[in-house]
Structures are given as structure tokens and as C-alpha cells.
Amino acid sequence: MFSTKFIEKLKHAQKVAVLTGAGISAESGVPTFRGEDGLWNKFRPEELANFNAFQKNPKLVWEWYNYRRKLIHEVKPNPGHFALAEMEQMFPVFTLITQNVDNLHRVAGSQIIIELHGNIMRNRCVDCNKIYREIDIEFESSVPVCRCGGLMRPDVVWFGEMLPEDAILCAFQAAQECEVFLSVGTSALVQPAASLPIEAHASGAFVVEINVERTAISRYIDESIIGKSGEILPLLINKIKEK
Ligand code: BJW
Ligand code: ZN
């Protein structure tokens, strides 16, 4: 399953970077965005995760986020999240970059996390940008309103919006400087996150993806390991601990 070259690279690496996507949370019971038969899969993510959709039908977009928030409260991190939290302690420089908004890496114990697409537990006023934490809001009613009268939206990054500047700068820097880069549970279709493994590869890193199927980047990287991240990542840790 793991090539000798990959394990040797990882055993000797000083700087490791990991990009995660929705697939890492799939084994926790969080639906991925693409290619499933979920309740919301009659909508493509592009149709709900954008500001125009919110302006046109804020109630529908809130319902989608309320559904997901409720679900996330009910689930727990899986062995894949825990393995990455353990890996943070194993390398001198370890950068965890996630596209996920579900907070599960933090719950699993990862301490430094670059959240490229925001966090579903935070909300923000579209007019004055005031940040509200989830507990400040009554969710069962329709779209919550800020004290200034503006509509509140989840503090996440929608299509057509810029990613947080610090986050994207740090992520690209980590991709350029690391020796090993892992792309875990992402379809690698959404930019600019999908460019990170490619950037890492172009900068000389050994790039490996872990996914249940091949993805948009498979042919541009060093190795694809086909399997569930909640199973593969713990095995990988055991392997690099071997003398
Ligand atoms: C498992 C598994 C298991 C399952 N184990 N694996 C360049 C070219 C073309 C387009 C663009 C471009 N640059 C920018 C764009 C536009 C756009 C974009 O990328 N469009 C593409 C769709 C073509 N990007 C943007 O708009 C971004 N902004 C930007 O670039 O700003 C500058 C700019 C502005 C205006 C014009 C041009 C430039 C912003 C993107 C924001 C994405 N937001 C979302 C929603 C976040 C909030 C929320 O969660 O609601 O982010 S969309 C959604 O997709 C979410 C995810 O983070 C993201 C990525 O999805 P992910 O994680 O890969 O999930 P899936 O479902 O796709 O894949 C899951 C994978 O797991 C699969 O591969 C499974 O096989 C696997 N899997 N079980 C391991 N057990
Ligand atoms: Zn406001």
C-alpha cells in the first residue's frame, strides 16, 4: 500500500504539509459536497455556496447551513482526524490546511489549522461585518439579523469570494517549503486550494493523495493511495513509527 520511497521520505521529512477536504469527515458522517445522494444533493454546491444565491433566497441558504450545523454537532472526529492531530507532534514543521468548515480537526486535537474556507460555527453581518458566534443566534427562526439591521451569513468562503489573505499566503508558503505534501479526501476541483498540491510538486515536494478514488490531480502528483482516510492515515502513522 505504501511505497518504500514514500515512507523513507516521510520518515526523514522535517517539513510536512497536509491539505484536507470533505472526504476526511465522511467517515464521521458528514456528507461530502459532490457525488452523493444526500438530501441536499439536488443542489450543486455552486448553487448554494455563493452570495447571489444568498441574496435571492437567504432562507434556503440558511436552511442548508442549519441542517449542516446540526449534523456537525452530532458527529465526532474519526481516526483520520486523530491521526493528523498526532502527526502534528511528529514533525518539526507540520502545516494542516483544511477546506472544511466543520471544526472537526480542532475537536480532534490539532492545534494549528489553516482554515481556507472559514468556519461554520461563526457568522458575520453582511453590512457591518460584525462576527457572531453560533451561540449568539436563534437558529430556528428564519434568517438572523444583526443589530445594525443587516442580514447575517455564515462566516465561510463562497464561490467568487476571496479566501482569507493570511490563510492562503501561509498555505502556499507551506506548499512551497515542505518536503512531503499529503492531499487527503478532496476532489481537488475547487481553486485555489486545488493548486496547493500542484504547487508543492512543482517546488520539489513528494506529493501523495489519499482518497477513495482518483481525482483531478492524480496524474500530476507522485502517488495516489486509494482507500478511506480514516483507515489509511492510522496505518501510515504505524508505518513511520516502525524502526
Ligand atoms: C474520501 C472519503 C474517505 C469521500 N476517505 N476520501 C481557476 C480556474 C477555474 C475556476 C476558478 C479558478 N480560480 C477560482 C475559480 C472559481 C472558483 C472555483 O474553483 N470553481 C471551480 C468549481 C471551477 N473558486 C472560487 O470562487 C474561490 N474563490 C476565489 O478563487 O477567489 C478569487 C476569485 C474571485 C472571483 C473570480 C475569480 C477568482 C472560492 C471557493 C470557495 C469554495 N467554497 C465551498 C463552500 C465553503 C463553505 C461551506 O462548506 O459551505 O468550499 S464549495 C465546497 O467545495 C467547499 C469545499 O471546501 C470545496 C472543496 O470540496 P472538497 O472538500 O474537495 O469536497 P468534494 O465533495 O468535492 O470531494 C470529496 C472527496 O472526498 C472526493 O474526492 C471523494 O472521493 C473523497 N472521499 N470519502 C478519503 N472516507
Ligand atoms: Zn451589522
pTM of the model: 0.97
- pLDDT reported for residue 94: 98
User: Do 4-30+77-117+163-241 and 33-74+125-156 have matching folds?
Assistant: no
- pLDDT reported for residue 137: 61
- pLDDT reported for residue 36: 67
174, 96 in Cβ contact below 8 A? no
Compute mean pLDDT per 10 residues along the chain, 243 residues long, and list them. 96 98 96 76 87 95 91 96 98 98 98 97 96 70 87 96 98 98 97 98 98 97 98 97 83
Looking at the domain 4-30+77-117+163-241, which fold is it?
Rossmann fold (3.40.50)
Burial class (CB in 10 A: 0-12, 13-18, 19+), 58: middle
Helix count and strand count (H, E) for the chain: 10, 9
Distance CA 32, CA 20 (A): 12
Question: Distance from first CA to last CA of the chain, Å, rounded?
Answer: 18
Listed residue (124, 82, 118) closest to 102, CA to CA: 118
Domain-wise residue ranges, the chain: 4-30+77-117+163-241, 33-74+125-156
Distance CA 101, CA 84 (A): 16
Burial class (CB in 10 A: 0-12, 13-18, 19+), 54: buried
- Residue 175 corresponds to which cell in the numbers above? 506548499
Q: Which residue ranges have their beta carbon within 6 Å of ligand 1?
A: 21-23, 26-27, 32-34, 45, 49, 99, 101, 117, 156-162, 185-187, 189-192, 210-213, 215, 228-230
The three-class DSSP label of residue 76 is coil
CB atoms near residue 208 (< 10 Å):
23
| Inter-helix orientation angle 4-12/229-241, to 10° | 70
Residue with CA closest to ligand 1 atom 72: 187
- pLDDT reported for residue 185: 98
| 8-state DSSP, 141 | S
Any bridge partners for residue 138, and if so which? none
One of 3.40.50.720, 3.40.1280.10, 3.30.1600.10, 3.40.50.970 is the CATH number of 33-74+125-156, namely 3.30.1600.10
Residue with CA closest to ligand 1 atom 25: 159
Distance CA 165, CA 188 (A): 20
Task: Out of 33, 65, 121, 189, give the residue to mutate to test ligand 1, the one with the largest number of ligand atoms within 8 Å of its CB.
Answer: 33
Listed residue (14, 154, 132) closest to 72, CA to CA: 154
- pLDDT reported for residue 134: 73
